Structure 1
C-alpha cells in the first residue's frame, strides 16, 4: 500500500563586512552577499535612513536612526522587522557607577564609503556614544563604544514584539526551571533570565538569536553576557556584555528564518565532518548514569549489560559514567568496586557493545594526582593570584582544571588517557564538565574563548560514542561536527517537552547533530514512569541520535533506593522505538551528508521548511526531521493530541493513508503504542522515508 501511495503522489562591490571567522567553510549561499547597488543614505530633521536595495539573493532593507534619541528601526518592504527599545529603556545602554545610562540625542554624523558614523549624547554627564553602522546586502554591522567614562557593561535592548517571535540562544535559564524542566519556544513565550551567559558556561549556548520576521542578532564577544528575554514579562530583549570593550553586533535581514540561519552558519562555519559514525546514528548508546548514578560497580554494570542483551534491547556502546575512579582525577579504577576491570571490559565486548568511560579534566584536591599536577604547573592558575592553581567547586568536590593551553599539561593528560584506554580496552570517552572556568586565568597567549577550541581539539582525537560533548561559542566548536547532548533533565513530562524545544534551540544555533538528555531523564529525580520512559524513547527515535540510560527492563529509584521493574510492554515498546530509529538510519544518514554540504539542521522547526505557515511559529511539540519526516509524538499523558500539518500532501504512517496539509487535526488518538508521524509526499527523500515506516 505504501508503494501505491508513493506512486500516486509522484504521478501528481558593494560595502562588505569584515571577513567572517571561517571563510573557507562558506559557500556562495552563506557568505555575506554584496548589494547589486550601493547602499544609500538619506536624512531629514528627525531621522537618518540607510537604504540597502533589493538584490538577486537578498530582500533589501532600511535602517532608520532617530536623531532626537538614538534608536534603530529596521524595515523590509516598508514593514518594521526589528526595533530597539523605547526611549525610557534606551537602545544603546551602558552601566557606570552601578547605574544604567543610555544614548540620547545624535550630536553628529558622517557618511563615508558606505559607512554611517554617529555620535550621541548620553544620560551620563561627560559620556558620549560613538556608533558605526556598516551595511551589506543581507546584514549590517553595528559597532559602538562609550567615551568619557569607563563603563562596567554595554548593552543593546530590543522591543521583542517588533520582530515577532524570538528563537536561538541555546539552553536557556528561566525562572520556571530552565533548562532542566523548561525551555520556552519561542523564547518570548516565557522568560529567559541568563546572567552568566558566556563562553565558559556548561550550557550549550551561542550569542545568536533570530526572529519570525527573518531578522537575526549575533553579538561578537568573548566576554560573559547578561541576557534577559521578556524578564518579568517586560516585552524586552536585553543583551548586555560585562566589558567596556566596543560592542560588536551583526544584524541579519533576510526573507525567511532559514535564510538567517544560513547567514549565521556562514559566519561561524558549518560542520566539516560528523563525529558520529553511521552505527552511532542507527543504534542507541547506553550510559550508566541515570540507571545507577554514582552507586555503580562492576557487578551492577555487567548485570545491566546482560539484562539489555537478554531482552533484545540493542545498542552500539555501553558507557560507565561517573564514579569509577578511586578519586576524581586519578584515572585508576576503584579496586573495591571494580576488582577486575579488564574482565569487565571483555564481557561488555562479548555482549556486542563497545566499552566507554566518563572522564574529566577536573582533578580533585584529594586525588593523588593533584599535587603532581600542581607542582608541575599543569593546572589553570587562579585569576586573582596566578601564582597558585585555580580551585573550582563542582558536584563532586573541589578541584583544579588541567590547563590545555600548556602543551606539557596537555601531553601529560593525553598520555594518561591513552594508557588507560589501552590497558582496559576502552573504545571511547564521554568528556564531562568544562574546559575552563571564569575564576581561572588562561595560559599565557590564550583567551578564555580559546579553551572551547582547545577542548574541541582534544576531544576530536577520541571516539565520543554518540554522546558527544558540550563545547560551544567558538567557530571551532561548530566546525568540529560533534554530537551535542543536552544538560541533565528531570524525569517528568515537563522535562521531555523541554528536551524537544531545547533540541530545536541547539540545532538552530549551528549544532545540528543533536540528542536529548538520557532517555527518561536523570537529575537525581524519581525513576521515570512507564509512560514517560516510553514516550521519551518514541520521541528520541525521531531525532538524529538516541542516548539511553534507564533500562526499560528495570532500574533503581535513586530517591528511595528501591528497584523499579517495568512490565513487558515497556520493554517491547522501547525496543520498537529502537527498531524504528534503526530503519530511519539510511534517511538520517542522508541528512547528515546534506548538513555537511549546507550546514542546515537535521531536526528543525516546521517554519524552517514552511515559512509562510503562520501556525508553525508557535508549535512546541512537532518538528521536521529533514525535509520529509514530520514528527508529532505524544509528550503528555493525554489520550489525544492536536497535530498541525503544513501545506502539502502527507502520508499518515499510523493509519496508512494520505491526508491533506494546511490544517490541524484537533484530536489525533495517541494510545501508548502510537507515535504520530507523517511523511511529506513528493520530495526526493519520500521513497526512502516511506520504506523506513513499513
Structure 2
C-alpha cells in the first residue's frame, strides 16, 4: 500500500483541516455516558483517539490507518476489534453491482470531540466521509459516500480480532439454521442471512457482541445482508440495503455482560412480563406438533383427556392452525368442529384455558378478504399501491391487515373480541408477520413501525405463555413478551439448536424465552422417545415450557400413523413438568430481576463467569439465573462432560458438593437423570436447592 500523500503529511503536521460533513449525516441518536477528556494524536500513517478509563468504563483506543482506511480498537493495549483488510475493505459500498471500498485517507479533523475523515475509494470519483464520535464506553461510526450512487453500504470485520462472536438472534445458516442449526459462537459455524431485517419472521436484532467484550449495533430500519464466517472466510460483513448514511455503535467494555447492558440501555428493558406466574410454572399445550393441520374437535378433546388423565399439568390448551373454514373468516370449520362451544366447555372442565391460533393474513378465498379489500383495510402493494399487496405463505395467498390504519385495526380486533366471547376463548397465539417487504407501509410509517404496531396489538390479549415474534424495534423489547423460537425439527440436532438459539435470543434483549414446542414441530417424523424426554428435561430448566407432542401418543405427520410412547415416557415427561413447577418461585424471582435490570434469565456461563475462558465455547450448558447451572443431556449418549466454572457447586443428581473450576468427564446420564448444579454462594441458592433436590415421591 502506498504511504500518505504529501498533502496528508502536511495535514498531520498542522491538524487544521475541517472537511465539510456529509449531507444528511446527523449526530448519533443513542444515549451514551459522558465522555472523559479524550486524547488525540496523529503521526505518519496513523491517527489515534484514546478515551481514558472512567467509572466502570475501561477506556479504549481507536487507531485509524490512513494509507488505507481501517480501524482497530484496543483496550489496555490489547486489540478487541479490527476491520477487515485485503480486498474486502473496511468501509464498503456497492455501486452498479460492484463492491468498492474506502482507500487512502485524504483529509481529517479533530474538533469538538468528533474525528471527521475523508477518504478516496476504489470507485473513480467517489469519496467516503466518516465521523468517529467517542464517549466513555463506546464510539459512534457514521459514514456515507459521495460521487457515486450506491445501493448498499457495509462494514467488514476480521472475526478473529475480537475472539468469538455472539448475538444476532435466529441465524440462517447453510447447515439448516435456524430450524436445525444455530452455531454458538456464531463464528464456530457459518451465518449467511441475506434478508436480515425488521419484517423478518426470525427473531433478530442488529446487535453482535464478542468474547473480547466489544460489541456492534447497526442503527438501521432497512434490510441487511449479514454474513459471518461465510465459506469459513473469517470475516463478518454487515451490509445495509440502502444508500442512507451508515450508522453504527461500537461498544468497548470489560465483560460481554456489560456490552449487553449497554445495548439494553439503547433499546430498553422489559416494562413488564406478559406471562403470568402460572404460565411460567406449568406448560402450555399446543396442538400444532401433535396434529399439524389434521386436527378436529374429536381429536383435540381426546388429546386434552389424555393429558388430564395422565397427570400432565398445563394451564392452557391451544388450538393451532387450521380450525377456520377459510383463513381470515374467523369462523370454525363446521365439518371439523360441529359444536365448538361444547368443545370449549369440555376443555375448561378438564382444567385448561382455551387458546386459538390467529393471523392477520387473510386468504383470497375467504369471505373476509373482499370486505377488507373493499374497505382499504389491507396493506398496499409496494410496486402498485393502487391494489392490495398479496403474499404467498404456507397456507395459500393472502392480504395482510394494515395495523397502521385505525379503522382496519378496529375492525380486526373487534372480530377477535367477538370470536373470543362467542366461544369462551381465553387467549390467542398470534402467528405470521405483521408486515412483508413486498408491501408498502401506510403513509407516514416505516417497516419497523409494524413491529411496534404488532406489539401494541398483541399486548391487548393474553398470549398464554407462547408469546409472539416481534423484534428490532425498542417497543418489542419493552413489551415484555415471551419469545418463542422458529419451528425446529424433531431430531437431536434441533434439540441442540433450541438451546443455543435461546442463548442467542435472550442475549439480544429478550429475556423471557421458550424453545420451540418440546420435541420439535418442523413437519418431520415424530420425535423418538429419547428426544422427546431429553427435550422436556432441557425445557424444565428454562424460563417456560412450551409443549405439544403428547408423551402418551402422537401422529407421525410423514406416515399418518399413530406413535404410542411407553409409560416411562409419560412418567419422565411428568417428572420434568413437576421439576419446572417446583422451580417456579425461583424463576419468578428471575423474572422480577429481569424487569429491574434487563439481564437475561437463561444466559451463557460467561455472562456470570467472564474470566472462565472454557465457558465461551460451551454449547450445552447455561445459567438459569445466578444460582442454577443446567447441563441436561442433548445427545443420545449415556454420558457427557460437564464444565463447572469457579465456585462451590451442589450436584443435584449425585447429592455432592464440587469445587470449581472443574471439568467432570464421563458423567453418567441415564434417561431419568437431568444434570443440574446449584452455585451455593449465589443469590437464590436456597430456593433453587429446595426446588431441585429429588422429590421423595414420584413426580
TM-score range, shorter chain: over 0.9
Say if 1:93 and 1:100, in contact at 8 Å, map to a contact too.
Answer: yes
Q: Is the 8 A contact 2:631 2:676 kept in 1?
A: yes
Contact preservation (8 Å) 1:69, 1:87:
no
| Superposition map of 1:626-645 within 5 A | 626-645=625-644
Matched residue of 1:54: which SS?
coil
1:335 aligns with 2:302: no
1:523 is matched with which residue? 522
Q: Tell me the CA shift for residue 19 of structure 1.
A: 4.7
What is the TM-score when the length of structure 2 is the normalising length?
A: 0.95
CA distance, structure 2, for counterparts of residue 498 and residue 17 of structure 1? 40
Structural mapping, 1:269-284, within 5 Å: 269-284=268-283
Match of 1:594 in 2: 593
Cα distance in 2 between the residues matched to 1:545 and 1:635? 18
**Alignment deviations for residues 125-156 of structure 1 (CA, whole Å, 9 cap, x no partner):** 01000000000000000000000011010000
Q: CA deviation at 1:32?
A: 2.4
Written as runs of structure 1 = structure 2, the 5 A alignment for 1:269-308 is 269-308=268-307
Aligned to 1:48: 47
Name 1:32's counterpart in structure 2: 32
Does residue 649 of the first structure (1) align with residue 648 of the second (2)?
Answer: yes
**What are the Cα deviations for residues 503-526 of structure 1, in whole angstroms up to 9, with x where unaligned?**
000000000000000000011100
CA distance in 2, matches of 1:179, 1:244: 29
Residue 472 of structure 1: aligned partner: 471
Alignment-derived partner of residue 218 in structure 1 = 217
Distance between the aligned counterparts of 1:113 and 1:349, measured in 2?
A: 66
Aligned to 2:129: 130
Asked whether the 8 Å contact 1:497–1:621 carries over to 2, the reply is yes
1:418 aligns with 2:437: no
Q: Distance in 2 between matches of 1:509 and 1:101?
A: 31
Secondary structure of residue in 1 paired with 2:367: coil
Task: Note if contact 2:34-2:135 (Cα within 8 Å) is conserved in structure 1.
Answer: yes
* Residues 1:97 and 2:82 aligned together: no
Q: Is 1:371 paired with 2:370?
A: yes
CA contact (8 A) 1:17 1:32 kept: no
Matched residue, 1:243: 242
User: In the aligned structure 2, how far is the partner of 1:164 from the partner of 1:634?
Assistant: 27
Query: Aligned to 1:110, what secondary structure does the other structure show?
Result: strand
Aligned to 1:648, what secondary structure does the other structure show? strand
1:582-635 per-position Cα deviation (integer Å, ceiling 9, x unaligned):
000000000000000000000000000000000000000000000000000000
- Deviation, structure 1 residue 344: 0.4
CA contact 2:216–2:249 (8 Å) conserved in 1 = yes
Once the two structures are TM-superposed, the CA of residue 56 in structure 1 deviates from its matched residue by: 1.7
Deviations 1:250-305 (A, max 9, x none): 00000000000000000000000000000000000000000000000000000000
2:196 is matched with: 197
- 2:512 is matched with 513
CA distance in 1, matches of 2:163, 2:29: 30
**Structure 2: how far apart are the matches of 1:153 and 1:202?**
22
Alignment of 1:513-662 (within 5 A): 513-662=512-661
Q: Distance in 2 between matches of 1:682 and 1:122?
A: 56
Q: Contact 2:626/2:683 (CA < 8 Å) preserved in 1?
A: no
SS at match of 2:541: coil
Q: CA deviation at 1:17?
A: 7.4
Matched ranges for 1:152-167 at <5 A: 152-167=151-166
Gaps of 5+ in 1: 1-15, 21-30
1:28 match: none
Do 2:210 and 2:256's aligned partners in 1 also have CA atoms closer than 8 Å?
A: yes
CA contact (8 A) 1:94 1:100 kept: yes
User: Residue 230 of structure 2 corresponds to which residue in structure 1?
Assistant: 231
Q: Secondary structure at the match of 1:291?
A: helix
- Report the TM-score, using the length of structure 1 for normalisation: 0.96
Q: Secondary structure at the match of 2:646?
A: coil
Q: Quick check: 1:40–1:114 contact (8 Å CA) kept in 2?
A: no
- The 1:127–1:18 alpha-carbon spacing in structure 2 relative to 1, beyond 3 Å, is closer
CA displacement at 1:39 relative to structure 2 = 1.1
Match of 2:623, SS? strand
1:40 shift after superposition: 1.6
Secondary structure of 1:673's match? Answer: coil
User: How far apart, CA to CA, are the structure 1 residues paired with 2:479 and 2:374?
Assistant: 33
User: In structure 1, the residue corresponding to 2:674 is in which secondary structure?
Assistant: coil
**Which residue number in structure 1 is paired with residue 171 of structure 2?**
172
Structure-2 separation of matches of 1:19 and 1:285? 40
Deviation at 1:693, TM superposition (A): 1.3
Residue 349 (structure 2) aligns with: 350
Q: CA deviation at 1:34?
A: 1.8
C-alpha deviation, 1:684, in angstroms: 2.3
The whole-number CA distance in structure 2 between the counterparts of 1:124 and 1:286 is 58
Preserved contact between residue 486 and residue 517 of structure 1 (Cα < 8 Å): yes
Give secondary structure in 1 for the equivalent of 2:681.
Answer: coil
Aligned residues: 668
SS of 1:143's equivalent? strand
Tell me the distance in 2 between the aligned counterparts of 1:693 and 1:207.
37
Is the Cα–Cα contact under 8 Å of residues 224 and 238 in structure 2 kept in the other structure?
A: yes
TM-superposed CA distance for 1:666, in Å, is 1.1
Q: Displacement of 1:87 after TM fit?
A: 3.2
Report if the CA contact (8 A) 2:284-2:464 is conserved: yes
Contact 1:382 1:391 (C-alpha < 8 Å) held by counterparts: yes
Query: Equivalents in 2 of 1:467, 1:641: separation in Å?
Result: 31
Distance 2:686 2:635 in 1: 31
C-alpha displacement of 1:18: 4.1
The answer (yes or no) to whether the contact 2:64–2:70 under 8 Å persists in 1 is yes
Residues 254/106 of structure 1: CA separation in 2 closer, same or farther (3 Å cut): same
Aligned residue for 1:68? 67
**Structure 1 consecutive aligned stretches of length 4 or more whose deviation exceeds 3 Å:** 16-20
Match of 1:188 in 2: 187
